[in-house]
Amino acid sequence: MSEKILSTEYSEEMKTSYINYSMSVITARAIPDIRDGLKPVQRRVLYGMNELNVHANKPTLKSARIVGDVMGKYHPHGDSSIYETLVVMAQDFKRMQALAIGQGNFGSIEGDSPAAQRYTEAKLSKFSDDVMLADLDKTVDFMPNYDEKLKEPVVLPCRFPNFLLNGSEGIAVGMATNSPSHNLSEICDLIIEYIKNPSITLKSMLKIMKGPDFPTGGIVANMSELPNIYKTGVGKLKLRGKVVYEPAKKSRDKDKLVVTEIPYTMIGDGIGKFMSDVGSLVEQKKITDITDIYNHSNKDGIRIVMELKKDLDTKKIENIKNILYKKTRLEDTYGVNMLAIVDGRPETMTLKSILENFVKFQHELINRKYKNLLDKENERKEIEEGLIKATDLIDAIIATLRASKTREDAKTHLKTGKCKNIKIKDKKLAKIASKFDFTDLQADAILDMRLYKLIGLEITALNEEYKDTLAKIKKYKAILKDKNKAEELIIDDLKRIKKEYGVPRRTSFEDAEEIVIEEPKAEVIDVVYCQDKFGYCKVMDINLYEKNKEAVEANNLYVIRAKTDEKAIVFGSKGFMHQIRLDKVPMLKTNEKGKPIDNLSKFSSSDETIVGVETTKSIENSYLLFVTKNGLIKFSDSSEYVTANSKVVATKVNSDDEVVKTLVCYADKDLVIRTNDDFFLRLKPDEIPLLGRNTKGVKGIKLGKGDFVKDAYVLEDDSVVNVGGKNKNLNQLSRAKKATKGSKLK
């Protein structure tokens, strides 16, 4: 059998496949549905727990059992993502309202990992049972699961805007959602007001619901930007932790600064990182008044204590707070992007559109619920009417039953009054029976009725039930017909939820001014700047250097005495100059390697090589000599480089040339240029032109074919170079005129 090969454009196939993949990730994994505020995995975990009957009033179940059931039936994407979802839903420090209750180690606010799923147990929270899953069978559509063997809900019948309450985070393809959490009580009040007045303004909304409310508390420090965030659905929140000053209560105690609330973004390893950062600030003497820091946080709340030196005035304490906000994650940014799935499409939500979609969804739930209830009550009414009618015709019914050979014969006679297989002997009863016209439901109910139902009290109770059924039908019809009655139900439900689950607001608001800090001046000390041939640099204590002088100089290409308030100046072969603050260079011991200058400046070792290193002090009142591979030379005044920025042009270089040496020179020292073929040219300083930074040099030496400048030296009394394996003194070299080739050193 021959195969049929179909040709297609590769780019079109890739485009179509990628779009399909992207939409799958967006709608089926990463972005929550605006109706219940849940991603598919969250929805499936809650539904799976509901099917396992692990409700709030039942014992907990092993997390591994829950995860396995959800993975096998609804979410075949791996157990780790399912368990992580379950853990987060049970962590009350991450969610304003926990949707699950965990038993065992479910992690901590400080970043401790939860125990493995085989060790922990979980069940649904009361809120999930009451608000997220109630009336599940009456209100929402179900769809086939991944293998079409079971059904799962398209959406949960959530009676509260979970998207606002618990927020959401998710990264899809080309888009992401990051919605903050809010206070339950304020949301209830806001929705009630919106139902009463759908044209409510954003300003009025924010008087009711002031803004985000995070489970960790803290401060939103840019309150004036909230209206625009809720108007557009995007923006940035400036979050701050709360720091309080606690004066010493006893003479032996110390004054303290205590962090009692943290930004939501610090959950996890943020607390450890904060303490580490504070320690670094103290070591670097950015903060000099903190003597100790320790973490006393527990299940009751955050308490990070920083002990202070005695007798600090208010200004110093405020400055410490400002440094903490400026230099650590105690102040952080939370990017808001309220993206959700609306009618199958991703959409950035404003506050008003969230409320519109919520109220619309509630009306859909109410309509479906009460249509189902109405259908059931109409069915009940039909049955009760048949039973009431049957009590008045009971003798004829009994006669019919006694004359019937099968249930089907009896049912046919009850429905039509006729059946060829039934002969009632009593003519009076037969006449009554011939007029039977019960419905199918009524006939089944009569056949299933027990004789005790004919007791007088039971008949009275049946009549009362019938009246109750009629009242319910009337009520349900009114709800379905009148939008106002449906909204009354929504409002009553919200009031009940607020009363049962509402909590006080935790996050406060302010418009904080830009932080200005007064950093103490670092102590200036004598150090030695060391840099090896690989570009790793460090500074050493001067006394340590003196003790290990030989080892230091043997292991480093550049060793320069300096002070910590100076800068190291690095010259590159491309003609650029880079500056490094010495107070940013790590102070290390003799055998410690140091830090690459690539990490401390804009120098890139992959683009250029180092041809000279000096410090700002070492080049004062001097000239800098630049010598290129093609023999160009020039002097430049050092003052042009001391005040320069971190990366500037030190000398211009042709594209086919590069700098081979940069030296510090003085007017009383001769200079020597050396070529690769070991020709040497000795020059007096006044023979070399003085030019600016942004210029090229002039021709300093004539080069033979294939020869190039290899090195340059400042001539000292003991200047010795290795030539042909022998050390030779440069002072033996006679002076040559400028622009001559030079001579061999004999």
Residues carrying an active site annotation: 119
DSSP, collapsed to helix, strand or coil, labels residue 365 as helix
Q: Measure Cα distances from 46 to 84, 136, 203, 465 in Å.
A: 13, 12, 36, 36
- Which residue has tokens 């803004």? 211
DSSP H helices, 115-183, are 126-127, 136-139, 162-165
Per-position DSSP letters for 280-327, written without gaps between them: HHHHTTS--SEEEEEE--BTTB--EEEEE-TT--HHHHHHHHHHHHHH
How far is it, in rounded angstroms, from Cα 423 to Cα 434?
A: 11
Lookup: tokens for 501:
């689950």
DSSP, collapsed to helix, strand or coil, labels residue 151 as strand
Contacts of 158 (CB under 8 A, 6+ apart): 35, 36, 37, 38, 131, 132
CB atoms within 10 A of CB 297: 17
Of 78, 35, 72, 80, nearest to 52 by C-alpha is 72
Of 279, 226, 486, nearest to 369 by C-alpha is 486
How far is it, in rounded angstroms, from Cα 258 to Cα 292?
A: 12
How far is it, in rounded angstroms, from Cα 404 to Cα 423?
A: 8
Contact 587, 564 (CB under 8 A): no
How far is it, in rounded angstroms, from Cα 109 to Cα 652?
A: 56
Lookup: tokens for 46:
């809650």
Phi/psi of residue 86, nearest 5 degrees: -60, -45
Lookup: tokens for 269:
């390893």
Contact 683, 671 (CB under 8 A): yes
259 membership: H or E segment, kind and range: strand 256-261
Q: Is 271 exposed, middle or buried (0-12, 13-18, 19+ CB in 10 A)?
A: buried
CB atoms within 10 A of CB 137: 10
Phi/psi of residue 341, nearest 5 degrees: -90, 120
Q: Measure Cα distances from 580 to 408, 537, 655 in Å.
A: 100, 10, 27
Beta pairing class for 219-220 and 508-509:
parallel
DSSP, collapsed to helix, strand or coil, labels residue 681 as strand
Integer-rounded Cα Rg, in Å, for the chain is: 42
Contact 35, 363 (CB under 8 A): no
Residue type, 70: V
Lookup: tokens for 380:
């009940």
Residue type, 213: D
How far is it, in rounded angstroms, from Cα 536 to Cα 598?
A: 9
Lookup: tokens for 559:
């060793």
Beta pairing class for 679-683 and 671-675:
antiparallel
Residue type, 511: D
Lookup: tokens for 7:
């040709």
CB atoms within 10 A of CB 170: 19
CB atoms within 10 A of CB 528: 20
DSSP, collapsed to helix, strand or coil, labels residue 633 as strand
DSSP, collapsed to helix, strand or coil, labels residue 640 as helix
Of 315, 256, 318, nearest to 290 by C-alpha is 256
DSSP, collapsed to helix, strand or coil, labels residue 39 as coil
Residue type, 201: T
